[in-house]
Amino acid sequence: MRILALALGALIAVPASAQTAQVAPILTTPEAKDIWTHARPEIARVTHVALDLRVNFASQTLSGSAILDILTAPGAREIILDVDNMNIQTVAALNGPNLPYKIGPRDAELGSALTIQLNPGTKRIRITYNTKPSASALQWLPPELTAGKVKPYLFSQGQPINNRSWIPTQDSPGIRQTWSATLTVPDNMVAVMSGDRLSGDKGMQRANGGRAYEFRMNRPVPPYLIALAVGDLAFKATGKRSGVWTEPSMLDAAAYEVGDVEKMIDAAQALYGPYRWGRYDMLVLPPSFPYGGMENPTLTFLTPTIITGDRSNTDVVAHELAHSWSGNLVTNATWSDSWLNEGFTTYFENRIMEAVYGKTRAALYADLDWDGLQKDLTEAKNGPTTRLHGDPGATAGQLDYFKGSTMLRTIEVAVGRKRFDAYLRSYFDRYAFQPQTSAGFLADIRQRLIRGDKALEARLQLDRWVYQPGLPANAVHVQSAILAKVDAQLAAVKAGGSVSAVKTTGWSTQQWMRFLNGLPRQQTPARLKELDQGLGLSASTNAYVRSAWAELAIANRYEPALPSIEAFVNSVGRGLLIRPVYQALVAQGDWGKPIAARFFAKAKASYHPVTAGQVEKIIAK
């Protein structure tokens, strides 16, 4: 199916603040309809958001205003925004009359529609509002949960649909907006955002107290990419266009860990064309950050769990950097096609890793992803949730990542790298700053790469990959020689060999993962003790190791490991590492469920609202 674009921008004068940026057309095809938004962009849409917010740690609120520039279709009488759980004080035309508005019923997932009546010719609206302490995008951390333990901390996580809890706008990935923001924060704190910094590193003193920081994003981005953090932050450069922000005590370790980033940017540009976002900085957050990383433009957010001292988790940096093309430049129009963001990015991530570290090391990550693919397929029984295109948020496990990247690798092998790279590079150029759908991508690759080659079409099976469950038989599996050696040691242990014979010196996170996840799930207490003590699992400072060990120990109801597991789920809030621990406990029924509830009761206050909600659901089972 072809994407029909309604070029509304051509019919109506573009507001001044949006003039520097291209205003993307509005998608109107059925498959691009986003069921996760209340917005009706074909009637009226937001093109620019200007925020002016005061950050109040005492009340855990943001308060101030949002000025929205809007584009309207002829005769439009209203604009519909997404809001969730916020207090709206006033809605008015900018420097004009108040506008009647209505907040619709709250859907637990989608929040409410904010419908604002427009006067003929209304082009700018001013909304004054404040957020609530329970805003789903925001985590307000008390000083105890920071590294420094003296100042509080605030950060946001927008993807997929949380930003409507702090920004009243049209919160759909198919809609692009430029934005600007002024954040006023307590005197001794620093604010960062996912856009250009206009005020210096120290902000500006405000007459009525606090420091003001100004930011701007003049390239049109989907609203989920607007992000902020406020804390005791310091900066260290890692190169001419990159650097790290984090709490002072973590700065040196963080800067070392991500020190290969300039090489990664060079490699990425050589593959997919210019990096179009200016700076590439990273923010290393407190351990409650719910993800490994988040690709907020100009400022990737990273979990501190990647800091293992050996740069073995820089795949996360390569991944978030790759989103600067797949995701931030070309964006899934709806969350039904998240593989266009995550699958493409996982493929590109591995290409960046190969360019920077070589084939052997890249194969390590790709082979581990293959393990993840098989695990997700098995757990979902190759059922409907193993389709790439499906209900938003419904893809099993990380199949949008693993099946998506395997599909692209399979195409690469079939057509040859040179041809595929040229195609992908042109794909990014042609769709830059636009939303994309599965159907749109398939039409494009057929037109530009397959070009009627029937044999190639039959070989690739693209529709099967995207629309059918399971894994097509042509899937390419990259195997790692390094992991094959781990498998050999694993085989010896499985055959009853002693744990002390396992040579783990210098093991990367990935070698540990292959070993621990490869151990048979049923183990005797004696063997678990030998593993724990021989390999130092409960005492490991590597969060990935602690998580994988917890899963194994819990599967065997191995109680000596519980104190370390409890400490772990109280010190890390990254969903990918803690959810499996809670799931393993719940799977142990009468033995595990009360333990899960007990751990969560204590740890909950340290989790991001989204993660807390996810764990709550696991425990309720």
Among all residues, which ones are annotated catalytic?
Answer: 320, 401
Q: Which of residues 548-587 bind ligand BES (CB under 6 A)?
A: 576
What is the SS3 assignment for 362? helix
Q: Which residue is nearest to ligand BES (CB)?
A: 292
Q: Which does 214 bind (CB under 5 to 8 A by kind): ligand BES, Zn ion, none?
A: none
Of the residues 64, 160, 231, 243, which one makes contact with ligand BES according to CB under 6 A = 160
Q: Are 201 and 227 in contact (CB under 8 A)?
A: no
Is the omega angle on the peptide bond into residue 105 within 30 degrees of 0, that is, cis?
no
State the binding partner of 159 from ligand BES, Zn ion, none, CB within 5 to 8 A by kind: ligand BES
Could you write out the DSSP letters of every residue in 582-616?
HHHHHHTHHHHHHHHHHHHHHHGGGS-HHHHHHHH
In angstroms, give the least distance from the CB of 465 to Zn ion: 19
CB of 323 to Zn ion, least distance (A): 6
Phi, psi of 336 (to 5 degrees): -70, -20
Q: Which of residues 385-404 bind ligand BES (CB under 6 A)?
A: 401
Residue 197 binding result from Zn ion, ligand BES, none, given CB thresholds of 5 to 8 Å by partner type: none
Cα(567)–Cα(561) distance, integer angstroms = 10
In angstroms, rounded to a whole number, what is the distance separating the alpha carbons of residues 36 and 158? 14
Of 56, 136, 159, 410, the one binding ligand BES by CB under 6 A: 159
Based on the shown chain and the rule CB under 6 A, indicate whether residue 608 belongs to the binding site for ligand BES: no
Task: Tell which one of 215, 291, 347, 512 touches ligand BES (CB under 6 A).
Answer: 291
Task: Kindly give, in sequence order, each residue whose CB lies less than 8 Å from that of residue 278, ignoring residues fewer than 6 positions away.
Answer: 196, 241, 298
Residues binding Zn ion (CB under 5 A): 342, 345
Among residues 314 and 345, whose Cβ is nearest to Zn ion?
345
CA proximity to 400, closest of 348, 441, 340: 340
Q: Please state the closest distance from residue 137 (CB atom) to ligand BES, in A.
A: 11
Sheet with strand 299-302: strands edge to edge: 234-237, 242-246, 280-284, 299-302, 293-294
- Residue 327 CB, nearest distance to Zn ion (Å)? 7
Report whether 149 contacts 143 (CB < 8 A).
yes
Q: From the CB of 324, what's the least distance to ligand BES, in Å?
A: 11
| 49-68 footprint of ligand BES as x/- string (CB under 6 A) | --------------------
Looking only at the bridges linking them, the beta strands covering 211-221 and 177-185 are antiparallel
Contacts 24+ apart (CB under 8 A), 95-98: 96/122
| Alpha-carbon span 131 to 493, nearest angstrom | 54
Q: How far is the CB of 346 from ligand BES (least distance, A)?
A: 7
342 binds ligand BES (CB under 6 A): yes
Nearer to ligand BES, 295 or 532 (CB): 295
513 CB contacts (<8 Å, ≥6 apart)?
Answer: 368, 544, 548
For 495, counting Cβ atoms within 10 Å of its Cβ (0-12 exposed, 13-18 middle, 19+ buried), the class is exposed
Q: Contacts with ligand BES in 310-339 (CB under 6 A)? A: 315-316, 319-320, 323
Number of chain positions touching ligand BES (CB under 6 A): 15
Residue from 41, 195, 292, 404 touching ligand BES (CB under 6 A): that is 292
Q: Which is nearer to Zn ion, 319 or 389 (CB)?
A: 319
What does the binding site for ligand BES look like in residue numbers (CB under 6 A)?
A: 159-160, 291-295, 315-316, 319-320, 323, 342, 401, 576
